[in-house]
Structure 1
Amino acid sequence: MVTETERDQLNARLNAAYTSGSLDADDYQARLDQLFAARTLGELVPVVSGLPALRTYADPALVESTGGQPGELAPSRDTNRLTLLVVGGVALAVVVLAVLLLVLAG
Structure 2
Amino acid sequence: MSNLPISSKYRSQPSRPVDGAEREDLTRRLNDAFTAGGIDGDTYRTLLDELYAAQTLGELVPVVEHLPVKSTHDEPAMVQQHTRTAPGELAPAGMNANTATRIGMALGGLGLVLVLLLAVLL
Question: Which interval holds the TM-score relative to the shorter structure?
Answer: 0.5 to 0.7
Alignment partner, residue 50 of structure 1:
66
Give ranges in structure 1 of 5+ residues lacking alignment. 92-106
TM-score by length of 2: 0.55
Q: Give the CA RMSD over aligned residues.
A: 2.7
Alignment partner, residue 3 of structure 1:
19
**1:54 is aligned with what amino acid?**
K
Equivalent residue runs for 1:1-106 within 5 Å: 1-63=17-79, 64=81, 66=83, 68=87, 74-80=90-96, 83=97
How far 1:6 moved relative to its partner?
1.2
TM-score by length of 1: 0.62
**1:31 is aligned with what amino acid?**
L
The higher-RCO structure (CA 8 Å, 6+ apart) is 2
Compared with structure 1, are the counterparts of its residues 78 and 4 closer, same or farther at alpha carbon in structure 2 (3 Å cutoff)? same
Give runs of ≥4 in structure 1 deviating > 2 Å: 60-68
- Number of residue pairs matched by the alignment: 84
Identity, % of aligned positions: 42
